[in-house]
Amino acid sequence: MSSTFIDLRQNALSENSGASFWPSFTDIMMVIVMIFMLASTVLMLRNYELVVELRSTMAAEQLAAEEARMATQTNATLEEQIDQAQHYISELRMQIMQQTEANKLQAQMLEERNARLDALTQLSEEQNELIQQQIIIISQSESDLTDERQKSETLAEALQLKSDEFTELTQRYIVIDNSLKDQQKKLSDLEQQHKSSNQQLILVRGEYDQLKVKYDKLVKPARTTKGKYVVDIRYEKIKSGVKRIQYKLPGWKSFKTVSYKELHQQLSKLKKSHPKSLYTKIIIPEVSGLSYIEAWDFMKEILDKYDYYAQ
């Protein structure tokens, strides 16, 4: 029934439109808020994942940096150990060379002593043979004198005098010869003793220098390449008998051959540039061709003049 009546109230359409507008607006706003919340949630989750990834990346970078630092430290320590080991090997090689030369010297002295004994034995035998020959000659002379004595007493007396003179001259000759040989033997012994004394003096000097180095190691801090400017110096004698000197600076891939004078000039410059950190590492090859004295004198000279440890 009511649907047949016309609504005669003023603003009837406006009231109906207002009632339908606000619910629609509320729904739209709710949808917008839900979309915003969903977007915020997605963004928060995405940011959380990015933070987790960033933290993982930073932790991995820190771990890689720590491993690199440890590897660098390990490499530096290994390089120092290698440098010290090479220097120690050179010292051991020189000690072996010293012992070898001492053994050779003892063998040479023993051979020379045996040779002198053989020579003295041979000389004694020759002298015995000479004495026997002289006895035979004297016997023959005496026999001849006896025959002649029967012929003539005057001739016998003359021959006797000649025989006595010959005997006296022979004895004088033997005495002079023995005296000369004794003097020659004494002279030879003195020369040999002088030679042996010089060689022993050289060996003793090397031992004293080694003891001084060991004493310095006990008193001073240990010699190390850590924080030092290391110069590698190789010293050897090549097949032609010529001594060859090579050196290598940090960063070089190969050694450079120089003369003795050029080496000292280069080391003098480096000593001025690195007065308290120049480390001279002497390398004596296993088959160097050098004698112990040559190797030790070279090493001692370089260390005393340029190495930081001796300053």
β-pairing, 243-248 vs 256-258, is: antiparallel
Any idea which of 63-67, 138-142, 286-290 has the lowest mean pLDDT? 138-142
How much is the pLDDT for 1?
43
What percent helix, strand, coil does the chain show, rounded to 5? 80, 10, 15
Q: In what order do the strands lie in the sheet with 256-258?
A: 256-258, 243-248, 229-237, 278-283
Segment among 119-128, 129-138, 151-160, 258-267 with least mean pLDDT: 151-160
Q: Which among 204, 258, 191 is positioned nearest to 231, based on CA atoms?
A: 258
pLDDT (0 to 100) of residue 75: 64
Max avg pLDDT among 95-104, 116-125, 189-198, 298-307: 298-307
In the chain, what is the straight-line distance between the N-terminal and C-terminal CA atoms, in Å? 127
Q: Phi/psi of residue 152, each to 5°? A: -155, 125
Full DSSP string of 74-95? HHHHHHHHHHHHHHHHHHHHHH
What angle, rounded to 10 degrees, do the helices at 292-306 and 12-151 form? Answer: 140
Average pLDDT over residues 17-37: 73
CB contact set of 160 (below 8 Å; sequence gap of 6+): 145
pLDDT in tens, 263-295: 999 999 999 998 888 999 988 888 888 888 888
Q: Which helix (H) or strand (E) holds 243?
A: strand 243-248
Please give the pLDDT value at position 111: 81
With beta carbons less than 8 A apart as the criterion, state whether 290 and 97 touch. yes
Confidence check: pLDDT of 216 > 50: yes
Higher pLDDT, 133 or 45: 45
pLDDT at 262: 93
Between these two residues, 122 and 159, which has the higher pLDDT value? Answer: 122
Q: Could you tell me if 91 and 214 are in contact, meaning their C-beta atoms sit under 8 angstroms apart? A: no
Q: CA-to-CA distance for 198 and 191, rounded, in angstroms?
A: 11
Residue 170: pLDDT band (50, 70, 90) is confident
What pTM was computed for the model?
0.44
The pLDDT of residue 156: 55
Cα Rg of the chain, angstroms: 54
Question: Rounded distance, CA 39 to CA 37, Å?
Answer: 5
Q: What are the tokens at 154?
A: 């005057």
Asked whether the predicted pLDDT for residue 259 surpasses 80, the reply is yes
